[in-house]
Amino acid sequence: MSKALSCRPLCAACCIAPSITSPIPGMPNGKPAGVPCVQLMEDLRCAIFGQPERPACCSGLQASFEMCGEDRSYAINWLSALEIATRP
């Protein structure tokens, strides 16, 4: 089992790599994979973190070593591969 981690500063891999099918403020149809979320701020933090309008899929995602690895590049690659592997 993978141990939970705190989010890595200046990463935002989970806000870029995966698609999100739920509405997001400013993105009513969700977002495609590889596209930064409109709520991603310049410092790569979520503008709606902890807010009720944040999609459940975002709130439920927890950083882990398996997903995040040692660096941002690893996380983007891992999440991108997962996105491809789980396409309908």
Distance in angstroms (rounded) separating the CA atoms of residues 76 and 17:
6
Q: What is the pLDDT of residues 22-50, one digit of tens each?
A: 999 999 999 999 999 999 999 999 999 99
pLDDT classification of 87: cutoffs 50, 70, 90: confident
Distance in angstroms (rounded) separating the CA atoms of residues 86 and 50:
27
Q: Tokens for 47?
A: 């503008």
CA proximity to 78, closest of 86, 68, 70: 68
Note the pTM of the prediction, 2 decimals. 0.86
Supply the mean pLDDT for the chain: 92
Distance in angstroms (rounded) separating the CA atoms of residues 76 and 80:
6
